[in-house]
Amino acid sequence: MFAPERIRIIKGILLDKKHINVSDLSTMLNVSEVTIRRDLEKLEREKFLIRTHGGAIINDESFLEQDKYIDIDDDPYYEQRLEIAEIAMHMVDDNDVILLSPGLTNLYIAKKILNKRNVTVLTNDLNIASELAANASMKVIIPGGDLDAASMTLAGKLTEENLRNFFVSKVFIEVEGVSMQRGYTVQSMARASAIKEMMNIARERIIVCIYKCFDNIGFSQIGPLTIANKVITNPSIPDQYKNYFFENNIQLFTAFNSYEGGI
């Protein structure tokens, strides 16, 4: 087993159990204890863990820093995306099977569900897949397709064909525009086409977007507002949308985790 794979597994175990034992890891990964100690030293230098006698514990402070990482990425909507991710996290159960469409808000969701157990995640966003790889108990499936290097996402005919082979309990679709006239939209035609396939393979369709997306229209349409079962956003969206979701039995979740619509 190569070092990067060992590191990935060790990180996953630490995220799950918070502590690890050198002897157990040596047996599990079929390498010497000397090799495991070197791996732990590397992770300690990265501030991921703190070595102890015979093992290591997770460095909780590093996770506080990890959360700040998004903030220092110059995301002006850090708080808004974090609010949405907090709500979405409570919709994902252990042993769940979900799909995350490409997008920064969905990346926040990926970070938030890292402590879930045995969750299967289908995604065409390689940033999300990479984030989820930190949890060894999580199964990540990438459908393949044409890579957009700028966004690190996959799209195209192969992506859409492969998506049809799956079925998920929930799909979290991140959109860039929400309007009464054009429904849900994104800027990329290829992304919109892939999202339409995602909508067809999910029992529950959940739209996620920050408040700035409302009354904004992207280049490519995904579908009308009624295609979603639930919408997760921030409280400060226009009242006409709140009324629309209520009248059309669409559940609306905002930062206060309040239920404002439907069912």
Q: What is the pLDDT of residues 138-152, one digit of tens each?
A: 999 999 999 988 788
* Nearest-angstrom CA–CA distance, 101 and 87: 17
The predicted structure's pLDDT at residue 220: 92
More confident residue, 11 or 186: 186
Phi then psi dihedrals of residue 160, to 5 deg: -65, -40
Q: Which pTM does this prediction carry? A: 0.71
* Nearest-angstrom CA–CA distance, 89 and 164: 25
Starting at the earlier edge strand, list the strands of the sheet with 220-223: 177-179, 183-186, 220-223
pLDDT at 68 over 50: no
Q: What is the pLDDT of residues 214-256, one digit of tens each?
A: 999 989 999 999 999 999 999 999 999 999 999 999 999 986 5
pLDDT at 72 over 50: no
pLDDT at 259 over 50: no
Q: What is the pLDDT of residues 15-65, one digit of tens each?
A: 667 788 899 888 888 889 999 999 899 888 877 788 988 888 887 665 544
Q: How is residue 166 written in tokens?
A: 């799956």
Question: Three-state DSSP class for 261?
Answer: coil
For residue 14, what pLDDT band results from cuts at 50, 70 and 90? confident
